[in-house]
Each structure stands twice: as C-alpha cells, then as structure tokens.
Amino acid sequence: MVSFSTLTRYLIALCFLFFATACQQAMTKPGGATRVNPDSPTVLITGSNRGIGYAFVKHYAAAGWNVIATARNPGDADELQAFAAANANVIIEQLDVTDHARIETLAAEYRETPVDVLINNAAILGDLKKQKFGSFDFEQFELTMAINVFGPMKMTQEFLPSILLSDQKKVVTISSGLGSLKQMGGMKEMSYYKISKAGMNMSMRGIRAELRPQGVIVALLAPGMVGTQLLADSGWDGPSLTPDESAAAVAANIESLTLKDRGEPVNYNGRVIPW
C-alpha cells in the first residue's frame, strides 16, 4: 500500500474538483444550436466576416432572424465578433468551406435545427496573375473551384436535412455576371473566377432539379457591383453599391422567391443575367 502525504492528497482532491467542474461547465455550456430561437426564422451565411456576408448578418439580425454566421477565422473577425456580442440572435461558427469534415460536423450539430435560408456567399477572386494566360497555376485553379463551386454544393448537400425542416426551404448561392458566357465571352482577365461562377451556376441548376420535388427553392442571385475587397482586388474603379445596399436588395429578392421561379441567375435589381 502506497502512503500519500496530506499535501499530496489535498492536491489530488483539488485537481479532481477542478476537472469535475470543467466537465460540468462543458456539458452545460449552450452550443450554437441550443441558442436558436424556434419562434424565429433562421439564416445560415457562409463567409460572414466581411463584405456582403457581414452585411447579410446585420440585415437579418435587424429583422429578428436567428443568424448563423460562419467565418474561416472567427478570431480575426473583429467587427463580426463585436456585432454578435451586442446581438443575442447572432451565432458565430468556425467554417472553412474547403474543410469537408468541418462542414459535416457543423451540419450534424444543427441537424435538428430548421434552416429557412442557406446563403452560400463564401468565395474568392484568387490571384489574378496566376489565372492569366501564360501563367496558369493549377493549385490556384483547384482552390478557386474548391471554394466557389464545390463549397456551395457540399454545404447544400450536408445542410439539406435542416433546410427540409424549415418553413421557407431556400438555398441561395451568390452568383455573378462574370459567370455569363454571353456577357463575358470576350473578356481576358479573371479566368478562374469566371469559370468558377459559370460552373457554380450549372451545379446549382442541377441541384435545383434534384431538390425542387422536395419543395426546396434553389436560387442564383447576384449582388451587383459592390464596394468590397474582392471588387477592389479585381481592379474595378467605377460606381458601386455599398455592401448594405446590396444585401438589402438581395434579401428582398430572397423574400419573394417561390418554387415557380425559373432558377436563372438574377441580379440584385431583379433583372435576369443572360447566361
């Protein structure tokens, strides 16, 4: 039999008490899903840390919705963190849309939570030099396609059970006029971004056909020329909307969506974008 000193016994007891308390706190700490108000509609937005995504967060929070705001690095999203701290209906979740395991885990956490509107907003423009003829970079191409095309596809697939539980059942993916062959067929720049938006349009059209019989509305909505970092990186120096103006206009289009819509890419002003 090994004997312990009084001090040793005291330290062991103290450690055990600390461990038990920590476990109890971990079990009782409310998670994101438990904070969702069942009496309010819920929107899930990818890429919520800045630009149009953050504008969507503010718009829906002000309208009284539950807002699940995802960001790749929430710790760096100071504005989003401050806004969520002041608005109890905003929940921040870490999510990189290229991390498929994380998408699956998050979807499982919200499996019993109705998600009325999923907004697939996360996207990248990519390094423009690496998508220019003569300097094509395959890794940059893969990353752009992974985020802009497969990201929305994976999100829609994994969160479908939550979408089906909701009243509105809407999946909205942020499109762009740059994905239009008719409008941009003669444009030389931003090859990967244009290809990704065209591919995303096609992927969502296919998903629309898949989900429409289940009552799910799948829409392609473009925000217009918005004064975001992405637009600045593209070199555009013309007139632009503010993120808040664009988000409000797109949200109005989302509200009016029905199963009768044709699923064509629609600009913020309601005009169909020739594809």
Residue 17: which residues within 8 A CB-CB, separation 6 or more? none
- pLDDT score, position 273: 85
- pLDDT score, position 28: 31
Residue 150: which residues within 8 A CB-CB, separation 6 or more? none
The dihedral sign for the CA sequence 53, 127, 235, 149 = negative
Q: Does residue 240 sit in helix, strand or coil?
A: coil
pLDDT at 8 over 70: no
Query: pLDDT tens, 191-248?
Result: 899 999 999 999 999 999 999 999 999 999 999 867 565 656 556 565 568 999 999 9
- pLDDT score, position 16: 45
Residue with more model confidence, 11 or 264: 264
Residue ranges and CATH numbers for the domains of the chain are: 33-256 (3.40.50.720)
Is 0.95 topped by the overall pTM?
no
The token pair at 181 is 């062959």
Residue with more model confidence, 142 or 224: 142
Q: What DSSP string describes 165-222? A: HSSS-EEEEE--GGG-HHHHTT--S-HHHHHHHHHHHHHHHHHHHHHGGGT-EEEEE-
Question: Which amino acid, one-letter code, is at 107?
Answer: A
The token pair at 47 is 């890429």
Rounded Cα distance between 237 and 231, Å, is 9
Are 114 and 165 contacting, i.e. CB atoms less than 8 angstroms apart? yes
